[in-house]
Structure 1
């Protein structure tokens, strides 16, 4: 039994006339009659009462029609689901993101995608840059929001944000009344930095800046998450260089000051595997870039 046999049956059941049903189906009447007979033989059930003047459904035919209509509705829904899946409108998308992205690009990217694809299940994981690179290579996330540098040809990388670093200070710090601060003024300050391994993306960009100006920070503490670094600044443990978007994290006891003469920039990128053919991933990239 094929779907076409069921279509033929529905057409005859709706028209209760083989000639009109054949015309509707754009086939000749004799083949249609033969197909219905074959269907009845396969089912071992008479579906129609036929006389020279009329065609009517038998009781078995009426029940069969109701069930066949359900089948066609399910087929219709299956086709729609497959088409939506091919357009990336349903499915799952696993996204890794660094902590500063939550205060900058992540909310807007998610909002934009949600407006167009509300039925996609988003799996969000806060991870450092090195953790995201590892999860991407292991196919455990589809997409990463992470810091440069990204040292692999296996990933497609697109920049989504460049922002300056700022100094986070305790509000009671002697330099708190300055609108801008030169890094040289912090030569004797205890610094809170990302750990070299887990926070290597941001750590690398900060250290490149220090190397460029021949500055050697006195590192007293490391913090994997920027929220933790800000909490330590609030506690008077030290000062930290953080992306400007961290100003959106309103933490009592912490102030943010611009760096002069030239503030270093950090860059956040979207990264995904070159060989990831997920329609949901492609849809996300199309919508947000």
Structure 2
């Protein structure tokens, strides 16, 4: 017998003898006759090359090696007994792992709530979180490094080739330094806002939303004056505070309570044109996305939870 072929039956026999300290009583406990138990222990000792029991005619006692094995064998058998239930739980998505990437905007408020509630409902599913922009998430999908992602995009423009679930829709708002004249105006003329230098994210980060912002300028006959590009929304807001320009950001960014910043939504812009039509600012969506071929029961459980 090779060490790698020692099966659980032998360890059950060892533990019975170790706890009873009597081969006869151990055999009765195992519903066996004594000779096979005695032979199994002798073969185990031969395989391991150590004495597990000190035997005399009057008593059986654990050797130091045998005594050291008892807690390990108890744990081994307990874990083995739990395997069928754990396998069923894994198939049902009750245990496992979900590697989730997310954009910063969803992390301001909604993601922490989801994480807390999901962990309460599915404590044996490990959520591994990594903050990443959309372009980085797509690369991670291609390398198999994430199971799902929370991506920001223009409405209806989630990256192709992925399953998706829209989890939030929100308008863009204008971020201004509190000291800026437009921040103090009762109503803002869109033309005045579009004339300001703008701080914006690079197009590769969220192409559809970048294009929607540029369309706002082009529709008014203007070209954006880009003062600075930055990747994270918090950084963009900080640069606005520093006076580099204004920025169009998702409404959820208002949760990033930066002192000295004022946010103005569409309702605070002057109506335009002869009919005094309300100003229509771009909006954005955040979607949970995942690979169509994903076969992770824990991921399916997380998707179902988010979709509730």
CA contact (8 A) 2:13 2:26 kept: no
Question: Alignment partner for residue 150 of structure 1, among 132, 153, 158?
Answer: 158
The secondary structure found in structure 2 opposite 1:198 is: coil
| Cα distance between partner residues in 2 of 1:111 and 1:179 | 40
Aligned residue pairs total: 276
| Cα distance between partner residues in 2 of 1:147 and 1:11 | 60
98-107 vs 172-181, which deviates more?
A: 172-181
CA contact (8 A) 2:152 2:206 kept: no
1:281 and 2:286 aligned: no
1:266 and 2:298 aligned: no
Q: CA deviation at 1:14?
A: 5.0
CA contact (8 A) 1:10 1:65 kept: no
Name stretches of at least 5 consecutive residues in structure 1 with no aligned partner. Answer: none
Change (3 A) 1:76 1:219: farther
CA deviation vs aligned residue, 1:223-275 (integer Å, no higher than 9, x gap): 22212221222233222111111111222322001114344321111122233
| Cα distance between partner residues in 1 of 2:113 and 2:52 | 61
The secondary structure found in structure 1 opposite 2:263 is: strand
Q: CA deviation at 1:159?
A: 1.5
Change (3 A) 1:197 1:66: closer
| Cα distance between partner residues in 1 of 2:304 and 2:42 | 53
TM-score with structure 1 length normalisation?
0.75
Q: What does 1:56-205 correspond to in 2, within 5 Å?
A: 58-60=60-62, 64=66, 67-77=69-79, 80=82, 83=86, 86=90, 87=93, 89=95, 93-115=98-120, 116-117=122-123, 120=126, 122-125=128-131, 127-148=132-153, 149-153=157-161, 155-178=162-185, 181=188, 183-205=190-212
Change (3 A) 1:156 1:258: same
TM-score with structure 2 length normalisation?
0.71
| Cα distance between partner residues in 2 of 1:179 and 1:156 | 43
CA deviation vs aligned residue, 1:66-103 (integer Å, no higher than 9, x gap): 62453131342466589288356465x44322222222
Change (3 A) 1:73 1:169: same
Q: What does 1:222-237 correspond to in 2, within 5 Å?
A: 222-237=229-244
Q: CA RMSD in A?
A: 3.7
Change (3 A) 1:188 1:65: closer
